[in-house]
Amino acid sequence: MAKITVQFACADCGTTSGRWLGKCPGCGAFGTLVEELHGSPSGTKAARPSTPVPIADVSADEADRISTGVSELDRVLGGGLVPASLVLVGGEPGVGKSTLLLTALGAISRGGRRALLVTGEESAAQVALRAARLGGAEQVEILAETELDTVCATLEAERPDVCVIDSVQTLHASALGSAPGSVAQVREAAGRLLRVAKESGVATVLVGHVTKDGAVAGPRVLEHLVDCVLQFEGDRYHEHRILRATKNRFGSTNELGVFEMTAAGLVGVPDPSELFGTTHPGEVGAAVGCALEGTRPMLLEVQALVAPSDLAMPRRVGTGVDPKRLAMIVAVLGRHAGVALASADVFVNVAGGVRIEEPGADLAVALAIASAARGVPVREGVAVFGEIGLTGRLRQASQAERRLEECAKLGLATVIAPAGTASRVSLRVAAAETLRAAIAEGLETASASAVGAAA
Ligand SMILES: Nc1ncnc2c1ncn2[C@@H]1O[C@H](COP(=O)(O)OP(=O)(O)OP(=O)(O)O)[C@@H](O)[C@H]1O
Ligand SMILES: [Mg+2]
């Protein structure tokens, strides 16, 4: 019988303490320590040594990966689910986590594998309703259960190929006195499920709730524990959803999956450029950039608004762009490209709720801001990419050829890229040495007299 002890654990970071403290010693947050009843093992078994083996003797095959049948999900996972791995899928309420995973389970079960859905959030009947709407999930087995011991025992006995736990916050270990969803419970559930996944070879997917700042709720240790953390994001008011990996032990974390929410479930969008990379001709403050997300080049519309401001420190607000990068681009525009923004608020938005993180998208942001500041639209059929240096010179972006191919595929006429970008595709590449030259090339009637006219 486990001995029950009282512990205080930080609700943010999971740091534990024997007594209550006002400030968490782990993360420095105030008032986050909550009392938890914690079961500790009543004694350790005598340890027996084990024999290590050379890596060469370990059999592992890339082909063992289980395809989820949802190509965008496979892409983000790095080619499918790895057997015996633990994947955490986080996302805002209603973003479509259950829908995505039920679709995947349906496809897995149709492929002749056993797929189990453990639902603690919805009743079996509710899941059946969704399954009927989505279609193709008749073979998926379902277990409506929140008791952790029962779930683990079922997994060990049944050994399905893939199991989805929806959600980890509803699981409840009765040995612990605290409520389901508390730090101790979530940590216990994840730890136990990890052991079962590795021992029984079940590829397990945990659904996790997110806190209001977007992190997966529960202790930080949860993210360390699992093999893969996927974030399902998207505007609930738009039908597009974006799945990205923030941690992946078996693949790149730069990959991105794009979905569209329809009545028949989530449909993968294999060609997001078509969706996100179109601007209205003649519109001021919009530019098309070609950003690279993992191995996938993607055309994105970047919009900017430049408005006069009386603030001593004008605002630089970016949605989907890194604020530091935005501040840098605004400074370089002012200093090296003659776009004065010192007394103007600058707002930048990336279409479709996509976040751009790579420097190759700098030029698109700069061109959109320059267009907004000067009140001159970007030329029609123009896309841009390139990194902006602090000296105002453009630096070459990685994988330029793939970006150019994507632009050519979408029928763009001209691409403005850093000097030295070679092209084998049939579209005009306007090479620009500096940011100033790129803006002159990109804007429709950018005459010298218009420089600095806005704001
Ligand atoms: N009949 C329908 N037609 C179109 N879209 C629907 C329909 N029913 C549900 N949806 C979409 O599915 C979303 C809910 O999906 P789902 O239940 O998979 O989300 P979730 O992330 O699991 O949410 P939670 O965190 O509450 O479990 C809704 O926000 C809605 O956009
Ligand atoms: Mg759900």
What single string gives the DSSP state of each residue in 176-217?
S-SPTTSHHHHHHHHHHHHHHHHHHT-EEEEEEEB-TTSSBS
- Quick one: pLDDT at residue 112? 92
| Look-up of token digits 């993210």 | 223
Range ranked top by mean pLDDT from 12-21, 38-47, 166-175, 210-219: 166-175
How far apart, in whole angstroms, are the C-alpha atoms of residue 379 and residue 382? Answer: 6
For residue 245, the CA-to-ligand 1 centroid distance in Å is: 21
Question: From the CB of 352, is ligand 1 less than 6 Å away?
Answer: no
Average pLDDT over residues 376-391: 93
Share above pLDDT 90 across residues of the chain, in percent, rounded to a whole number = 46
Does ligand 1 lie within 6 Å of residue 423's CB atom?
A: no
Report which protein residue has its CA nearest ligand 1's atom 29.
94
Which backbone phi and psi does 320 adopt, to 5 degrees? 90, 0
Nearest ligand to the CA atom of 238? 1
For residue 265, how far is its CA from the centre of ligand 1 (angstroms)? 8
Largest CA distance in the chain: 84
Beta-strand ranges (E) seen in 255-368 are 256-262, 265-268, 286-293, 296-308, 316-319, 344-350
What is the residue with the minimal CA distance to atom 16 of ligand 1? Answer: 96
**Separation of alpha carbons 186 and 183, rounded Å:** 5
Whether the pLDDT of residue 305 is over 80: the answer is yes
Q: How far apart are CA 429 and CA 443, in angstroms?
A: 15
Atom 23 of ligand 1: nearest residue by CA position: 94
- Stated pTM of the model: 0.76
Distance from residue 121's CA to the centre of ligand 2 (Å): 7
For ligand 1, pick from 102, 167, 233, 261 the residue to mutate: most ligand atoms within 8 Å of CB.
261
pLDDT confidence of residue 332: 96
Average pLDDT rounded to a whole number, residues 94-99: 89
The model's pLDDT over 346-372, given as tens digits with 9 standing for 90+, comes to 999 998 777 888 899 999 999 999 999
> Is residue 117's pLDDT more than 50?
yes
* pLDDT for position 214: 58
Rounded CA separation 170/148 (Å): 9
Ligand 1 atom at minimum distance from 91 CA: 21
**DSSP string spanning 50-93?**
-----GGGS---GGGPBP-S-HHHHHHHTSSBPTT-EEEEEE-T
Q: Is 95 in the pocket of ligand 1 (CB under 6 A)?
A: yes
> How many angstroms separate the Cα of 269 from the Cα of each of 72, 108, 274, 276?
8, 20, 10, 11
CA of 313 to the centre of ligand 1 (A): 42
| Close Cβ partners of 61 (under 8 Å, ≥ 6 residues apart) | none
Q: Chain-wide mean pLDDT for the chain? A: 86
Q: Is the CB of 98 under 6 A from ligand 1?
A: yes
Q: Which residues contact 321 (CB under 8 A, 6 or more apart)?
A: 302, 348, 350, 355, 356, 361, 365
Q: Is 296 in the pocket of ligand 1 (CB under 6 A)?
A: no
Token code pair at residue 209: 């709730």
pLDDT band at 455 (very low <50, low <70, confident <90, very high): very low
CB of 99 closer than 6 angstroms to any ligand 1 atom = yes
Cβ of 92 closer than 6 Å to ligand 1, yes or no, is no
Residue 261 Cβ < 6 Å to ligand 1: yes
pLDDT band for position 82 (50/70/90)?
very high
- Does a cis peptide bond (omega within 30 degrees of 0) precede residue 167? yes
Q: Which pLDDT band, with edges at 50, 70 and 90, does 188 fall under?
A: confident
pLDDT in tens, 408-437: 888 888 999 999 887 777 788 999 999 999
Predicted local distance difference test score (pLDDT) of residue 280: 84
Q: Which residues pair with residue 393 across a beta bridge?
A: 434
Ligand 1 atom 1: residue of nearest CA: 263
Distance between CA atoms of 234 and 275, rounded to whole angstroms? 15
The average pLDDT across 252-277 equals 83
Calculate how far, in angstroms, residue 328's C-alpha sits from the geometric centre of ligand 1: 39
Output DSSP code: residue 371. H
Q: Tell me which residue has its CA closest to atom 3 in ligand 1.
A: 263
- Pick the atom of ligand 1 nearest to 166's CA: 27
Return the minimum-mean-pLDDT range out of 25-34, 146-155, 185-194, 390-399. 25-34
Classify 367 as helix, strand or coil. Answer: helix
pLDDT at position 398 is 87
What is the token pair recorded at 273? 């450029």
What pLDDT shows up at residue 449?
A: 43
Pocket test for ligand 1, best of 89, 95, 260 (most atoms within 8 A of CB): 95
Alpha-carbon distance of 282 to 187, in angstroms, equals 54
Q: How many angstroms is it from 327 CA to the middle of ligand 1?
A: 37
- Grouping H, G, I as helix, E, B as strand and the rest as coil, residue 287 is strand
The answer, yes or no, to whether any atom of ligand 1 lies below 6 A from the CB of 263, is yes
Q: Which pLDDT score is estimated for 10? A: 82
Q: Which residues contact 91 (CB under 8 A, 6 or more apart)?
A: 97, 210, 231, 232, 233
User: Taking a C-beta distance cutoff of 8 angstroms, is the pair 115, 108 a contact?
Assistant: yes
Buried b (16+ CB within 10 A) or exposed e, 40-67: eeeeeeeeeeeeeeeeeeeeeeeeebbb
Ligand 1 atom with the shortest distance to the CA of 130: 8
* 231 Cβ closer than 6 Å to some ligand 1 atom: no
User: What backbone phi and psi angles, to 5 degrees, belong to 366?
Assistant: -65, -40
Name residue 383's beta-bridge partners: 288, 415
233/123: higher pLDDT: 123
Pocket test for ligand 1, best of 70, 97, 117 (most atoms within 8 A of CB): 97
Q: How far is the CA of 304 from the centre of ligand 2 (A)?
A: 35
